[in-house]
Amino acid sequence: MKTYQTEQIRNVVLLGNAGSGKTTLSEDMLYRGGVIERKGSIENQNTVSDYNEVEQEHLNSVYSSLLYTEFKDHKINIIDAPGADEFIGQVVAGFNAADSALMVINAQNGVEVGTEIHSRYCAHHDMPFMFVINHLDHEKANFEKTLENIRQNFGSKAVVAQYPVNAGTAFDTIIDVINMKMYQYNKDQGTMEEKEIPEDQKSQADEYHNALVEAAAENDEELMEKFFEKETLDEAEMLKGIKEGLAARGMFPIFCTAAEKGIGIQRLMEFIIGSAPSPIERPTPVTVDNQEVPFDANGATSLFFFKTFNEPHIGDINYFKVMSGTVREGMDLVNIVTQSKERLSQIYAAAGKKRNKVQEMAAGDLGAAVKLKETKINHTLNEGKTAYQFPSIEFPEPKYRTAIRVVNESDEEKLGEELSRMQQIDPTIQVEYSKELKQIILHGQGEHQLNIVKWHLDNISKIETEFVAPKIPYRETITKVSQSSHRHKKQSGGAGQFGEVYMVIEPHKEDAPDPSSYKVNGTEISLSVRDKQEYDLQWGGKLIFYNCIVGGAIDAKFMPAILKGIMEKMENGPLTGSYARDIRVAVYDGKMHPVDSNEVSFKTAGRNAFDKAFKNAAPKIMEPVYDIEVLVPSDRMGDVMSDLQGRRAMVEGMDSESGFEKIKAKVPLSEMHKYSTSLGSLTGGRATFTMTFSEYQQVPPDVQEKLIKDFEAQKEEEE
């Protein structure tokens, strides 16, 4: 394979909703470039892209695949990204390697939520893209409706570059309004015959062509002046305007395909080569210390790794973009993150599972390396003393959680290792070993994504696991002053145990003065603060501990034991066993025994006194509440609103965004379990949502009562 120079390279990511035909499109592009000799199909489980066992079983993309094709002395690197929202992390990683995108749309369905989600990520990454209306050979294909749908969502920037003459089962003809030619295809081979536009299509073709010329002129002042003078542009001027407009996101050209039959693919590839930006035509990459690094094949070699994957019998495969210089087989580079040296014994041009060894790759190219010792996703490798470090990929926050446990305890250590490996492959999967909840919590983008994790554990790693409902990290606190005491006395032959503690507790409020007296149940309690200790708790909130002992009622050496007993109870709250927070405790009296008093006695007395006082201080349970935004088609708005109300949601606002309705609400975490699955069922998979932690709020009285009863019942069972 030849070495392609930076200006000969095009890096594109395939975007779009699941079912739009991205994998089939990429298969045909590889076939036309001679990278594969025959096309596979999703049904036959033999595509280049979806080669993983779980993808073949589910007949859907789960992981992004790096592919390439060679066409007209250019190399097109293709990142085939999953369409399902639950695998958005794979899409986000692709943005950090690509320079433009193909937004693939199913001609039966038009703009779907996945299209909208991916287009928003395109805007966030300033990514140019072109529309590819696919499946135009389907009996329910509707180009006009799809075009109207696109324009409703993306406005006048969406301009027709091609349109079908006979969309539907007989589809075989496209009119290209860039060069004003008609292309008729042989449905079996996808070969095309160029023809003149027939008379009955000229009016429509002229209308689309004029709109395209005007859009091209709008992106260049000089071209706009020429357009006003001549009311048109010649072909070279128009192509210049299209190229500039696409790169600047000033226009989104629309192309037509039937990927399964190879219709429209060659012209699409020609457009990518002629008009999509090469790496040097995109904004110059910037390091974490704001140093610009141009894509210069003669510069110091630097690689950024945008994906790590693991394959049986091979191990980790790391995919990179050459950010600077030329990487060569056998090179020694330094990992700026770990400061370790890595030898690139072999480098590959990747076409899914098929990897072709190459001698070198120039700046802007995408490739793969194996058997690297410490290099993973988000790492940068540099040549010599170069110290470039490129920013890490920003992945979306999780919106689904479940607890996982092994069926056989002997597999616990192995489970931890496998989950850590999966987290490297897809950083949107987060693993939390919760000491508080005594569970391993998996966080991700949705139920299907985490079911894929379980499938791998059960079938590939041979670790039998099960999902269980995740517990909720409630918080406990108090709302009024309370006093209590506890005497711990134990005699069982020999030295006994004795400790007695009196304390007052109250809610902690920032900037409140230190206490001097309390009136509890008609009794005045005067305090003299001897010592104050303030603790910022790991789980949020504070504990303020006052030593108010006078006259030696309790020896100072026992105060840490009392504090330890209180802290133990705060870690295992009196109401539900959840963490307690925001409490002031004043220990003001007690008794000792000259022989039997010890640290254990006062720890027990302090813990039990705190437990009593807490339960008499009008305690309340706080629950985590999340801000959620739901993007839903207007025709399903009522169903989604009703469902949210059943989840104790507080709707804070509604808005419209690109043809969808956006609902903003606050919802308790306890009500969000499997919400992504329910939302998909309610909307036929057409809605999506995001969620971020907002605050802790008090649970309603009926919920608090149930939580306490359930906890007491659980304790009785354990006893």
**Interatomic CA distance for residues 9 and 12, integer angstroms:** 10
Assigned CATH topology for domain 302-382? Elongation Factor Tu (Ef-tu); domain 3 (2.40.30)
DSSP string, 326-363: EEETTEEEEETTT--EEEE--EEEEETTEEEEESEEET
Q: Looking at residue 658, what is its pLDDT?
A: 63
**Interatomic CA distance for residues 334 and 343, integer angstroms:** 9
Retrieve residue 399's tokens.
């919106």
What ranges in 426-558 are assigned the alpha helix state H? 447-459
pLDDT tens per residue across span 317-329: 999 999 999 999 9
pLDDT tens per residue across span 669-696: 999 998 988 998 898 877 888 899 999 9
Q: Looking at residue 189, what is its pLDDT?
A: 63
Q: Which of 526, 525, 610, 518 is nearest to 573 (CA)?
A: 610
What ranges in 99-253 are assigned the alpha helix state H? 113-124, 143-154, 199-217, 221-230, 235-247
Reported as a pLDDT band with limits 50, 70 and 90, residue 190 is low
Q: Which of 4-18, 478-492, 605-619, 677-691 has the lowest mean pLDDT?
A: 677-691
pLDDT tens per residue across span 113-133: 788 889 989 999 999 999 999
**Interatomic CA distance for residues 527 and 225, integer angstroms:** 85
Assigned CATH topology for domain 621-702? Alpha-Beta Plaits (3.30.70)
408 phi, psi to nearest 5 deg: -110, 120
Q: Which of 670, 10, 660, 648 is nearest to 295 (CA)?
A: 10
**HEC secondary structure over 39-74:** CCCCCCCCCCCCCCHHHHHHCCCCCCEEEEEEECCE
User: What's the distance, CA 566 to chain centroid?
Assistant: 40
- Return the sign of the alpha-carbon dihedral for residues 473, 443, 394, 314: positive
Q: Does residue 65 register a pLDDT over 80?
A: yes
Amino acid, res. 649? A
- Return the sign of the alpha-carbon dihedral for residues 240, 244, 247, 249: negative
Reported as a pLDDT band with limits 50, 70 and 90, residue 714 is confident
- Return the sign of the alpha-carbon dihedral for residues 631, 637, 642, 645: positive
> What is the per-residue burial (b if ≥16 Cβ within 10 Å, else e) of 49-70?
bbbbebbeeeebbbbbbbbbbb
Q: Looking at residue 188, what is its pLDDT?
A: 65
Q: Does residue 410 register a pLDDT over 70?
A: yes
Q: Which residues pair with 653 in a beta bridge?
A: 664
Retrieve residue 464's tokens.
């039998």
Q: Which residues pair with 78 in a beta bridge?
A: 12, 67
Q: Does residue 47 register a pLDDT over 90?
A: no
Angle at 98 between CA 96 and CA 99, to 5 degrees: 115
635 phi, psi to nearest 5 deg: -75, -10
Q: Which of 47-56, 138-147, 425-434, 602-611 has the lowest mean pLDDT?
A: 47-56
Pairing of strands 315-324, 366-370: antiparallel
Q: Looking at residue 505, what is its pLDDT?
A: 97
Q: Looking at residue 306, what is its pLDDT?
A: 96
Q: What is the CB neighbour count within 10 angstroms for residue 195? A: 12
Outline which parts of the chain fall under CATH 3.30.70.870.
400-471
Amino acid, res. 230? K
Looking at every residue in the chain, the average pLDDT score rounds to: 92
Pairing of strands 542-547, 583-591: parallel
Retrieve residue 134's tokens.
């696919």
Outline which parts of the chain fall under CATH 3.30.230.10.
479-618
Q: Looking at residue 61, what is its pLDDT?
A: 81
Query: Helix, strand, coil shares of the chain as percentages rounded to 5?
Result: 30, 30, 35
Reported as a pLDDT band with limits 50, 70 and 90, residue 208 is very high
Retrieve residue 404's tokens.
């996982």
CATH code matching the domain that covers 400-471, chosen among 3.40.50.2300, 3.90.1170.40, 3.30.1330.40, 3.30.70.870: 3.30.70.870
Outline which parts of the chain fall under CATH 3.30.70.240.
621-702
Angle at 625 between CA 622 and CA 628, to 5 degrees: 175
578 phi, psi to nearest 5 deg: -85, 170
**Interatomic CA distance for residues 30 and 24, integer angstroms:** 10
Outline which parts of the chain fall under CATH 3.40.50.300.
7-281
422 phi, psi to nearest 5 deg: -65, -35
Q: Looking at residue 229, what is its pLDDT?
A: 73
CATH number of 7-281: 3.40.50.300
Length of the chain in terms of residues written: 719
Retrieve residue 668's tokens.
């308790």
Angle at 295 between CA 293 and CA 300, to 5 degrees: 65
Retrieve residue 650's tokens.
């507080």
Reported as a pLDDT band with limits 50, 70 and 90, residue 659 is low
Q: In what order do the strands lie in the sheet with 181-185?
A: 162-164, 173-176, 181-185, 192-195
pLDDT tens per residue across span 86-110: 899 999 999 999 999 999 999 999 9
Q: What is the DSSP letter of 597?
A: -
Q: CA 587, 592, 596, 601: dihedral to nearest 10 degrees?
A: -10
Cα end-to-end span (Å), the chain = 71
Assigned CATH topology for domain 479-618? Ribosomal Protein S5; domain 2 (3.30.230)
